[in-house]
């Protein structure tokens, strides 16, 4: 045995004997290996030094996830600080699915084991087993909630699967819109540390229901929330649904009202589950959007809407000095509270059926009727063809123009020889047919354009119509393809024919006349320090302006609007106004019928104007008689009454001017 060992020891020297000399074939391998090592090192260096950003990015996108949470929208206030649109918290109980990986797996194994034990041949596929496991686990958590708040809720497996596959890192809502008592019970019964958590989202709240609904607008779901200056744009991102303005001020000022989204970036495992107890790499709280202070006065708005009632109509009130819109009422309207959390198809169909989507105060183009006589008066006076203190015709109830006979629709008799103030007060058509005949249509149209009645006002609302028309022969030739007749001038001079304006335009027109200027730029934004608007003067002499205003005051004291204004006088306030009744042909079913539009424009007090208004009420039945003095003037009266009632309140009951810093 020992001899063998010695032999081995003797042989060992030979066994490890090195090769002497170099074999050229081995040297070749040295070069090959060295070259490969150089290539490898260079490649490694290249990847480390030049491609490091790419790899960091890939690593981040693989094991990091980004969650974005939208910020609540800003509030909308009226000019006195009354909340018109706010945010209502919605309490929910949610389940963080990404914390349940172990439970899902355990349940998966349990279910599979049960199937195998039962020797069921129709054992579900792995995907189906996973779905069953997830539903089972989530239902067990839901049972805890059911026991606490006394409900009997079941898991919606389709919704759960969708959430699991697309929004794993977002909390899965088990119960939404908890009642305060349910929320309180859950607060005390749920463990503080648990995958089940109480969660708050928010939704729009409208304290005044349908008030100013079309002006305020509504919001829709925003699936694509963005977070400016929040890192990780290239990471896989889970976004909670936010809201986006779809109409009205919500749409126009969406960028201001929109809150700043917050978010978090988490590390996840290869399956996308959040790492246990992992703190976010980045985190930012969502921030509420900026508030918006509108020029609206909710008390006047409510007064206008209540006065319009079930009729289809619009009422616009404007601060004469600044052009701030105090009221922009339109009926029919819709209840904004039905838009949260989302509008049901039934409610949407109802809005369509009632024609309530359109804000006719800005989108409805109507012939202005006799309210246009104020413009005709101004044009006639400025042209020098009509003098305020000289009659231009004698109203015999009708007049022949060309081969057509035009009648005086107002007064049910003959106005006789009237002067301009009386013609305005009593709305004598014959006087204005004559005045129109004395002028050219171009002069009248030019005056209309001077008051910007041919174009949009530019108010901060979407969908303001561009269908307003101040016609002239060129317009008729171009649009209708016919030449202009003297009868067209007659029609135009009383606000009929091709003339089309919006209620907002007429309110601006009334405010302009009140300021003795030609243009009022309306705005829905309140600025307590807003300067008085200054534009071009109308250009009437003092006597001419006095006659014009006297005529408008006469309208409310002894003229066409006197009945309602005398019945419900506003103490200490003289109103300058003008009524109008226009006809419009509309299609109702298969028939084309003529409906009336009752108008009233005004400003008050007549001697020192503060508020200007336009009211238009649309008839719904062909041939129905709607008079401006009977139908539209009472609406203006209600708003003016509220305005002066608020103004004359004792100082200690008034609200201070509202301003958000």
One of 35, 287, 541, 594 touching other proteins (CB under 8 A): 287
Contacts of residue 413, defined as CB under 8 A and 6 or more positions apart, other chains included, come to 397
Give me the least distance between CB of 133 and other proteins, in Å please.
Answer: 22
* Residue number with CB closer to other proteins (204 or 630): 204
The minimum distance between CB 148 and other proteins, in angstroms, equals 8
72 binds other proteins (CB under 8 A): yes
419-to-308, 542, 544, 553 alpha-carbon distances in Å: 34, 17, 12, 14
Shortest gap between Cβ of 634 and other proteins (angstroms)? 38
259 or 619: CB nearest other proteins: 259
Q: Which two tokens stand for residue 257?
A: 């009202």
Q: Is 189 in the site for other proteins (CB under 8 A)?
A: yes
Distant-in-sequence, close-in-space partners of 391: CB < 8 Å, separation ≥ 6 = 417, 418, 419
Q: Is 162 helix (H, G, I), strand (E, B) or coil?
A: helix
Using the minimum distance from each CB to other proteins, give the nearer residue, 123 or 256.
256
Query: Restricting to residues 83-112, which ones interact with other proteins according to CB under 8 A?
Result: 87, 89
Cβ 319 to other proteins shortest distance, Å? 29
Other beta carbons within 10 Å of 351 = 18
Q: How far is the CB of 113 from other proteins (least distance, A)?
A: 20
Contact (CB, 8 A) for 76 and 294: yes
Contact 471/445 with Cβ under 8 angstroms? yes
Backbone angles phi, psi at 421, to 5 degrees: -60, -40
Q: Which C-beta is closer to other proteins: that of 73 or that of 515?
A: 73
CB of 221 to other proteins, least distance (A): 18
Kindly state the smallest distance separating residue 162's Cβ from other proteins, in Å. 27
Select from 56, 200, 405, 588 the one that contacts other proteins (CB under 8 A): 200
Is residue 560 a contact point for other proteins (CB under 8 A)? no
Measured from the CB atom, is 78 or 182 closer to other proteins? 182
In the complex, what is the shortest distance from the CB of residue 186 to other proteins, in angstroms, rounded to a whole number?
Answer: 8
Number of residues that bind other proteins (CB under 8 A): 26
* Cβ 301 to other proteins shortest distance, Å: 24
Residue placing its CB nearer to other proteins in the complex, 78 or 550? 78
Q: Which residue has the tokens 């934004």?
A: 525
Residue of 131, 202, 322, 581 interacting with other proteins (CB under 8 A)? 202
State which residue, 33 or 187, has the beta carbon closest to other proteins. Answer: 187
Beta strands in 101-235 (DSSP E): 172-175, 196-205, 219-222
Residue keyed to tokens 């020797």: 119
Task: Specify the pairing of strand 236-239 against strand 64-69.
Answer: parallel
Question: Distance of CA 601 to CAs 144, 369, 549, 560, 617, Å?
Answer: 64, 11, 13, 12, 12
Please tell me whether residue 312 adopts helix, strand or coil conformation.
strand
Candidates 61, 146, 161, 288: give the one binding other proteins (CB under 8 A). Answer: 288
User: For 312, how many CA atoms within 13 A lie in the half-sphere containing its CB?
Assistant: 15
Q: Could you give the residue ranges of the DSSP H alpha helices within 384-541?
A: 420-426, 429-438, 441-450, 473-475, 486-493, 503-515
**CB closer to other proteins out of 3 and 193:** 193
Pick the closer one to other proteins by CB: 284 or 338.
284
Between residue 490 and residue 509, which ones bind other proteins under the rule CB under 8 A?
none
Q: How far is the CB of 67 from other proteins (least distance, A)?
A: 15
Task: Pull the structure tokens for residue 276.
Answer: 């246990």
**What's the CA angle centered on 566, arms 565 and 572, to 5 degrees?**
80
The residue among 197 and 527 lying less far from other proteins, judged by its C-beta, is 197
Interface segment toward other proteins; rule CB under 8 A; list 92-100, 196-204, 327-335, 373-381: 196-204
Binds other proteins (CB under 8 A): choice among 242, 245, 248, 259: 259
Q: Which residues, numbered 149-188, are part of the site for other proteins (CB under 8 A)? A: 180-181, 183-185, 187-188
Q: Does 286 bind other proteins (CB under 8 A)?
A: yes
CA nearest to 153, candidates 170, 141, 162, 165: 141
Exactly one of 66, 67, 71, 560 binds other proteins (CB under 8 A); which one?
71
Choose which of 15, 26, 158, 192 interacts with other proteins (CB under 8 A): 192
- What token pair was written down for 541? 């002499």
Report the nearest approach of other proteins to the CB of residue 210 (Å).
24
For 573-612, letters b (16+ CB in 10 Å) and e give: bbbbbbbbbbebeeeeeeeebebbbbbbbbbbbbeebbbb
Q: Which is nearer to other proteins, 15 or 181 (CB)?
A: 181
Binding mask 587-626 for other proteins (x = CB under 8 A): ----------------------------------------
Q: Does 279 bind other proteins (CB under 8 A)?
A: no
Neighbours of 266 (CB within 10 A): 22
The phi-psi region of residue 245 (left if phi > 0; otherwise alpha if psi is between -120 and 50; otherwise beta) is beta
- Residue 168 makes CB contacts below 8 A (sequence gap 6+) with 97, 98, 238, 272, 273
Among 198, 352, 474, 592, contact with other proteins (rule: CB under 8 A):
198
Q: Which of 9, 49, 117, 193 contacts other proteins by CB under 8 A?
A: 193
Nearer to other proteins, 40 or 198 (CB): 198
Contact set with other proteins (CB under 8 A): 71-72, 74-75, 87, 89, 180-181, 183-185, 187-190, 192-193, 198, 200, 202, 259, 262, 285-288
């Amino acid at each position: 045995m020992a001899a063998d060992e010695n032999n081995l020891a003797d042989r060992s020297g030979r066994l490890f004997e090195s090769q002497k000399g170099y074999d050229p074939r081995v040297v070749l391998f040295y070069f090959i290996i060295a070259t490969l090592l150089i290539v490898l090192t260079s490649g490694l260096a290249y990847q480390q030094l030049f491609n490091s950003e790419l790899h960091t990015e890939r690593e981040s996108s693989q094991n990091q996830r980004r969650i974005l949470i939208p910020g609540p929208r800003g509030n909308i206030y009226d000019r006195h600080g009354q909340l018109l649109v706010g945010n209502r918290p919605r309490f929910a109980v949610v389940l963080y699915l990404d914390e349940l990986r172990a439970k899902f797996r355990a349940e998966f194994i349990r279910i599979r084991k049960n199937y195998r034990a039962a020797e069921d041949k129709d054992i579900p596929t792995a995907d189906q087993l996973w779905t069953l496991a997830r539903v089972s686990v989530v239902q067990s958590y839901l049972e805890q909630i059911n026991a606490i708040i006394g409900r009997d809720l079941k898991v919606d497996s389709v919704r759960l699967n969708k959430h699991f596959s697309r929004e794993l890192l977002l909390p899965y809502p088990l119960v939404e819109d908890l009642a305060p008592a349910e929320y309180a019970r859950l607060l005390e019964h749920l463990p503080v540390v648990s995958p089940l958590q109480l969660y708050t989202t928010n939704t729009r709240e409208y304290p005044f229901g349908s008030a100013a609904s079309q002006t305020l607008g509504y919001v829709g779901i925003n699936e694509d929330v963005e977070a400016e200056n929040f890192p990780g744009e290239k990471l896989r991102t889970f976004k909670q649904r936010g809201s986006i303005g779809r109409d009205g001020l919500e749409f126009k000022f969406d960028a201001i009202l929109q809150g700043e989204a917050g978010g978090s970036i988490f590390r996840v495992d290869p399956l996308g589950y959040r790492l246990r107890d992992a703190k976010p790499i980045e985190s930012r709280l969502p921030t509420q959007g900026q508030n918006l202070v509108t020029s609206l006065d909710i008390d006047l708005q409510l007064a206008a809407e209540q006065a319009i009632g079930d009729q289809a109509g619009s009422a616009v009130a404007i601060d004469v000095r600044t052009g701030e819109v105090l009221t922009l009422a339109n009926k029919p309207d819709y209840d904004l509270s039905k838009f949260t959390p989302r509008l049901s198809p039934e409610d949407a169909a109802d809005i369509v059926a009632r024609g309530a989507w359109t804000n006719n105060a800005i989108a409805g183009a109507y012939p202005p009727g006799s309210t246009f006589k104020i413009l005709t008066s101004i044009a006639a006076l400025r042209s020098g063809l009509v003098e305020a203190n000289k009659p231009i015709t004698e109203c015999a109830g009708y007049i022949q123009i060309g081969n057509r006979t035009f009648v005086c629709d107002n007064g049910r008799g003959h106005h006789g020889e009237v002067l301009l103030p009386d013609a305005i007060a009593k709305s004598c058509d014959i006087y204005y047919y004559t005045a129109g005949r004395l002028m050219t249509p171009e002069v009248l149209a030019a005056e209309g354009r001077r008051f910007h009645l041919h174009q949009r006002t530019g108010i901060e609302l979407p969908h303001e119509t561009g269908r307003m028309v101040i016609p002239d022969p060129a317009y008729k030739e171009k649009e209708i393809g016919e030449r202009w007749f003297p009868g067209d001038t007659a029609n135009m001079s009383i606000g009929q024919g091709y003339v089309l304006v919006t209620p907002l335009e007429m309110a601006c027109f009334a405010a302009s006349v009140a300021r003795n200027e030609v243009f009022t730029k309306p705005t829905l934004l309140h600025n307590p320090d807003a300067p008085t608007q200054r534009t071009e003067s109308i250009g009437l002499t003092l006597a001419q302006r006095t006659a014009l205003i006297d005529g408008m005051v006469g309208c409310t004291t002894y003229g066409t609007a006197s009945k309602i204004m005398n019945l419900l006088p506003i103490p200490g306030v003289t109103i300058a106004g003008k009524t109008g009744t226009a006809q419009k042909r509309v299609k109702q079913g298969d028939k084309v019928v003529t409906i009336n539009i009752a108008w009233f424009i005004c400003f008050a007090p007549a001697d020192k104007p503060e508020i200007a208004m336009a009211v238009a009420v649309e008839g719904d039945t062909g041939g129905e008689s709607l008079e401006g003095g009977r139908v539209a003037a009472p609406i203006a009266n209600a708003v003016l009454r509220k305005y002066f009632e608020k103004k004359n309140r004792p100082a200690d009951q008034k609200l201070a001017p509202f301003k958000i810093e």
